[in-house]
Amino acid sequence: MKKTILLTALVLNGLLSSAQTNDEKNIKLFYKKALTEAKCYTWLEYLSNDIGARLSGSKGAAEAVEYTKRQLESLGLDKVYLQEVMVPHWVRGEKETAYILDGKVKTNVPICALGASIATPKTGLTAEVIEVQGIKELNELGADKVKGKIVFYNRPMNPENIETFTSYGACVDQRYAGAKEAAKLGAVGSIVRSMGLRLDDFPHTGNQSYGDLPKEQYIPTAAISTNGAELLSKSLKANPSLKFYFKQSCETLPDVLSHNVIGELTGSVNPDNIMVVGGHLDSWDLADGSHDDGAGVVQSMEVIRILKNLNYKPKNTIRVVLFMNEENGGKGGAKYEEVSKQKNENHIFALESDSGGFSPRGFSIEADDANLKKIQGFKDFFEPYLVHSFTIGHAGSDISHLTSKAIVKAGLKPDSQRYFDYHHAANDKFDAINKRELELGAATMTSLVYLIDQTGIELPKAN
């Protein structure tokens, strides 16, 4: 009896070892394919340099839909199609201007309107400035000190955090809700320090919301570059009565019909189980959005290209989804989930790349303990490629909408140290992308998709 048990154990161990060796070989092949024959860099070059900025509702966004659809069709996937979605159409208008007015001295500073902001009067807006470190301090000041002024939010990103997204999350509320809160207290405008760790002259845009304010209470709002913020803060200390001038001509037009772009490989064993890999096709309008999120788009396309090129037959249906309108509305992700519910689709896994095209370091995971432990058990496969971080955290804005009964979500985590040098700014261009780092990210994503497809997810235990 003991010999039988021992023999069985040896056989099982041998099978497990064989399966693990096969996985290691396949993952090595994914990296080889990505580093020697990937198309993601070429796709991104076209998206960035030939199409350019892709803000929802724009000509660039429409061209990007058609281009990526054609590229997916060329891969010979089982299905490629467009999914209609209505999206906001906000336009920036003429380039913004701003200056600090200290007595008769005018000092120009770089600004850019925030998404969904209204315009200033045609001649611009001039007012005294009140500087605050955030919304809490603003509310403590009260309407008497705020009314009739421009509120200047100047809380910087904390440089102490190694994970820079932690710093971003700790101060982005002043960008998103700053205008609304300032308007409640009677401010005539607001400006916010750009979300970035570097001192430079690139203002960073981003979406903001007036919430449930009536339209007559809307005030114009803009981001000021970090150098501009430092100068304004220093100038206010010397002369609290100085004034600030800015002019912008942005407006919100009627919603526009756009599309999510979807391609898939049908599962050979469990075709009704869907695994999504994706990024968002839209970008802000100041640049071509190569890191945010052109990189995530082409990496997701590369995942399915590698698998198809290797004639891989997935157990589950693998679907690449290029979401529209993540930046200023999230309509693409919401529409995808709406249609998924209507079709009663079952998503078991979703992976998003929306943190730039830098060297991959791991994954941010939304899962229960059992599935987190399962994915962390894959570490040995990734360590040869310097991918080591498998932690609980936000996986991605677009896939956050997915609500299947049992689903695991993950977000690619590239090195984040330089991401906020480019995020939502005019320097987020193709020349900021490193080809090898982009390809390594695609290979890392392919490897996780493969491992989940092979092993499935841990289902909740029945009560």
Domain-ending residue, one of 217, 249, 281: 249
Domain-ending residue, one of 234, 249, 264: 249
Q: Does residue 463 lie in a domain region?
A: no
Same domain, 275 and 140: no
**CB atoms < 10 A from the CB of 272, how many?**
11
In 343-459, alpha helices (H): 369-376, 379-382, 435-455
Q: Which CATH number covers residue 135?
A: 3.50.30.30
- pLDDT value of residue 3: 41
Q: Does residue 218 lie in a domain region?
A: yes
Q: Which residues contact 396 (CB under 8 A, 6 or more apart)?
A: 350, 352, 353, 354, 409, 411
Is the per-residue pLDDT at 247 higher than 50? yes
- pLDDT value of residue 18: 60
326 labelled catalytic: yes
Same domain, 182 and 159: yes
> DSSP state, 11?
H
Q: Does residue 13 lie in a domain region?
A: no
Per-residue pLDDT tens over the stretch 146-167: 999 999 999 999 999 999 999 9
Is the per-residue pLDDT at 463 higher than 60? no
Residues 379-392 have a mean pLDDT of 97
Active-site pick, 96, 326, 327, 337 = 326
Same domain, 123 and 258: no
Q: Does residue 3 lie in a domain region?
A: no
| Alpha carbon distance 361, 385 (integer Å) | 9
3-class state of residue 218 by DSSP: coil
Same domain, 218 and 342: no
| Alpha carbon distance 109, 119 (integer Å) | 18
Is the per-residue pLDDT at 231 higher than 90? yes
Q: Does residue 7 lie in a domain region?
A: no
C-alpha neighbours within 13 Å on the C-beta side of residue 231: 20
Tally the residues of the chain.
Answer: 463
Confidence class for position 49, pLDDT limits 50, 70, 90: very high
Confidence class for position 462, pLDDT limits 50, 70, 90: low
For the chain, how are helix, strand and coil distributed in percent, rounded to 5? 40, 25, 35
**CB atoms < 10 A from the CB of 186, how many?**
16
Question: Backbone dihedral region of 64: left (phi > 0), alpha (psi from -120 to 50 degrees) or beta?
Answer: alpha
Same domain, 386 and 265: yes
- pLDDT value of residue 405: 87
Residues 236-262 have a mean pLDDT of 98
Paired tokens of 316: 């589950």
Same domain, 159 and 268: no
Is the per-residue pLDDT at 10 higher than 60? no
Domain count, the chain: 2
Torsional sign, CA 169, 175, 179, 180: negative
Domain-ending residue, one of 205, 223, 249: 249
Query: Mean pLDDT for the chain?
Result: 95
Q: Which CATH number covers residue 447?
A: 3.40.630.10
Is the per-residue pLDDT at 19 higher than 90? no
Task: Find, among 356, 319, 362, 315, the residue nearest to 339 by Cα.
Answer: 319
Per-residue pLDDT tens over the stretch 354-363: 999 999 999 9
Confidence class for position 5, pLDDT limits 50, 70, 90: very low
The distance between the two most distant Cα atoms of the chain, rounded to a whole number of Å, is: 98
Per-residue pLDDT tens over the stretch 76-97: 999 999 999 999 999 999 999 9
Residue type, 324: M
Residue type, 431: D
Q: Does residue 295 lie in a domain region?
A: yes
| Alpha carbon distance 326, 257 (integer Å) | 15
Same domain, 101 and 177: yes
Confidence class for position 392, pLDDT limits 50, 70, 90: very high
* Domain span holding position 376: 27-90+254-455
Paired tokens of 326: 């993540």
Residues 41-59 have a mean pLDDT of 98
Same domain, 187 and 51: no
Confidence class for position 21, pLDDT limits 50, 70, 90: confident
Confidence class for position 460, pLDDT limits 50, 70, 90: confident
| Alpha carbon distance 71, 68 (integer Å) | 5
Q: Does residue 355 lie in a domain region?
A: yes
- pLDDT value of residue 12: 37
Same domain, 149 and 193: yes
Is the per-residue pLDDT at 13 higher than 70? no
Same domain, 319 and 367: yes
3-class state of residue 19 by DSSP: helix
Same domain, 330 and 402: yes
Same domain, 275 and 415: yes
Q: Does residue 17 lie in a domain region?
A: no
